Homo-oligomer: A and B are copies of this chain.
Amino acid sequence: MKAASLNQRRDEIMDIAVEILTERGYRDTSMLEVAKRASASKETLYAWFGDKRGLFEAVIQRNAQAVQTVLAHHLAGNAPAERVLMAFGCALLELLLGDGAVAINRAAISEARADPTLAQTLASAGREATLPAFIQFLELHRKRGVLRIDTPSEAAEDFLGLLLGDTQVRRLLGLLSAPRKAQINARAARATHAFLRLYAA
């Protein structure tokens, strides 16, 4: 049970890191405050995560992993395309526009120059892990004759575009607050509908 409670503690610290990250932004999140609020010592933080970057890299990886499993689950079933698109869209919106994800993306973006590592990690653990599954889903339905698609990867990007519009950027800029369930449903429905108008066989 030692290993279990150790991981639990790690999670606890990462939760707090995200919490402070959302309140303050990356640069104004001090290791001291993370330590204090977690009732940990700075030295422990540095021992466990290496440095500030390491801490948030761990945070990003954990988060992306969680996202990945949720999305993969939605794509796995054998439901009709429309239903899958709808569910996938809702999940994606919820995961991408939530406060935590926004804070993380902001961090990766602000450090993109000084330290591309965060963005790299975010990309490879996030988009690069999920998109192939979505493309595979599109190809499956193309073979079934449900969708008429030339280039699945482009079609995938179209769906993302229709789904998000410029909402994500506006969210990152702080011009929007996290959307409610109803708004998420509406967006996903609109995107699904438009996508099918474009690509339904």
Within 8 A of B (CB), among A172-201: 172-175, 190, 194, 197-198
User: Is A83 located at the chain interface by the 8 A CB criterion?
Assistant: no
Distance of A169 Cα from B5 Cα, bound (Å): 37
Residue of B nearest to A21 (CB): B113
Question: Given A27-B27, A169-B168, A198-B194, is A113 in contact with B161 using a C-beta cutoff of 8 Å?
Answer: no
Chain B residues, Cβ within 8 Å of A174: 112-113, 116, 119
Contact with A23, one of B25, B113, B116, B170 (Cβ below 8 angstroms): B113
Q: What string of 1s and 0s marks CB contacts (under 8 Å) between A71-110 and chain B?
A: 0000000000000000000000000000000000110111
Chain B residues, Cβ within 8 Å of A166: 127, 157, 160-161, 164, 168
Contact with A113, one of B24, B112, B175 (Cβ below 8 angstroms): B24
Q: Is the interface of A mostly helix, strand, loop or mixed?
A: helix
Q: What string of 1s and 0s marks CB contacts (under 8 Å) between A143-180 and chain B?
A: 00000000000100110111111101110111100000
Contact with A165, one of B27, B161, B170 (Cβ below 8 angstroms): B161
User: Is A114 located at the chain interface by the 8 A CB criterion?
Assistant: yes
Question: Is A110 a contact partner of B27 (Cβ separation < 8 A)?
Answer: yes
Contact with A172, one of B26, B109, B160, B198 (Cβ below 8 angstroms): B109
Distance of A174 Cα from B118 Cα, bound (Å): 10
Residue of B nearest to A154 (CB): B190
30 A-B pairs with C-beta separation under 8 A: A23-B113, A25-B110, A25-B114, A27-B27, A27-B114, A28-B114, A106-B112, A106-B113, A108-B173, A109-B172, A110-B110, A112-B172, A112-B174, A113-B174, A116-B174, A119-B174, A120-B175, A122-B173, A123-B173, A127-B170, A158-B162, A158-B165, A160-B165, A161-B163, A161-B164, A161-B165, A162-B162, A166-B168, A172-B172, A194-B198
